[in-house]
A = this chain, B = another copy of it.
């Protein structure tokens, strides 16, 4: 079969639109972006994206947590095939992470819409593109906020009241941009429902590039255990207080950061990733022994048994630091998940599309979470990766080649075409 693509939705048009899209929040002198959730750059980009969608006949809606949707109703009253990702970024980040997934979804829907308009009898479902709010969680925690509220995993009121470091809430920030909708776009009250979900993302690792794989068929998420620790000591003059009398919270926190790295060496290479990316110190003053430090510390592994063993070892370190450095260490938040499979029929559908298009493909696990991690628990879901050069991620220099971007769109188009025709949905 052949699927003509209008000039408007050609690969060349995508490349032009992609360049325009990457200018929002662009960091001067780099190829990366700073486009945190509900920032001015995020708002400007949402306005641009809304124009793109309406120009192709989609209607634009936003829900009560700021998720942005483009809807095309082809079959009145029918459920929607939903596809998308997120346009928000870390404070300084690459231009592909999330954003590529939204733009690829838009182009996949534009192309399938052209086909279904030309042959309406093939349409079983309607089409929807989504730009999920605040996937990154850098300005407002937790991450994957928009898709978590959408899937009922996070309460709306709690999410809207979440403050950024300066005290502005999600509700205020979205309200200022005019991006806070009045209510749900999907669900019983709206009269719309989701039939299935698809997402494409750049791989945040280098295995596909090394293995020569163009399309990653994501079949599972790594297990993870994430902690927020509070280390409590006692303020003192950092010059005159005798060393033995100090209770230094920053010292305690630093020992945990070092211990997290050393934990990795207790296991086989590659089976445990640990990280501390955020550490806040109080009062954080040159001549004061810190009374409090808070840090986020993550353990990740494809193997849940490794996580459990690493957790036990970490807690031994915590007890030793408390004793030797005379500080108190509490876990004030934690969040864990086991190795988490994606539905096998979605993986098989993606494999079949890749085979049809002659694209190299393989099953891959994802270490990072994605909005699809929320969606896959509710509706049939397909998750795809395209390669990232050197696996560089959360970095201004993140890069994916044009040919891989275009192959990902071609593949996602094939997935959306099948989903719109009823694949993965019963009956």
Contact = CB atoms under 8 A, between A and B. Distances in A.
A397 to B, nearest CB: 9
Given A279-B284, A290-B277, A395 B234 contact: yes
Interface stretch (A15-23, A242-250, A354-362, A409-417): A242-250
A413 B141 CA distance: 57
A91 B264 contact: no
A138 B240 contact: no
B288 A237 contact: no
A190 interface: no
A236 B394 contact: yes
A213 to B, nearest CB: 16
A91 B261 contact: no
Contacts of A277: 238, 250, 281, 284-290
A61 interface: no
A135 to B, nearest CB: 10
B286 A138 contact: yes
A274 interface: yes
Interface string A208-246: 000000000000001010100000001111111111110
A136 interface: yes
- Residue of A241, A255, A270 with most chain B CB atoms under a 10 A cut-off: A241
B264 A257 contact: no
A393 interface: yes
Given A239-B273, A298-B239, A394-B238, A281 B283 contact: no
Nearest to A265: B243
A287 B278 CA distance: 8
A250 B273 contact: no
B255 A276 contact: no
A258 interface: yes
Interface string A286-314: 11111100001010100000000000000
A367 interface: yes
Contacts of A68: none
A241 B143 contact: no
Nearest to A276: B250
Given A289-B275, A290-B277, A395-B234, A204 B284 contact: no
B278 A279 contact: no
Contact of A285 (B91, B244, B285): B91
A236 B288 contact: no
A262 to B, nearest CB: 10
A287 B136 contact: yes
Given A251-B258, A251-B261, A275 B238 contact: yes
A280 interface: yes
- Residue of A206, A224, A239, A272 with most chain B CB atoms under a 10 A cut-off: A239
Interface of A: 90-93, 136-138, 141, 143, 203-206, 222, 224, 226, 234-245, 248, 250-251, 253-255, 257-258, 261, 264, 269-270, 272-281, 283-291, 296, 298, 300, 366-369, 391-396
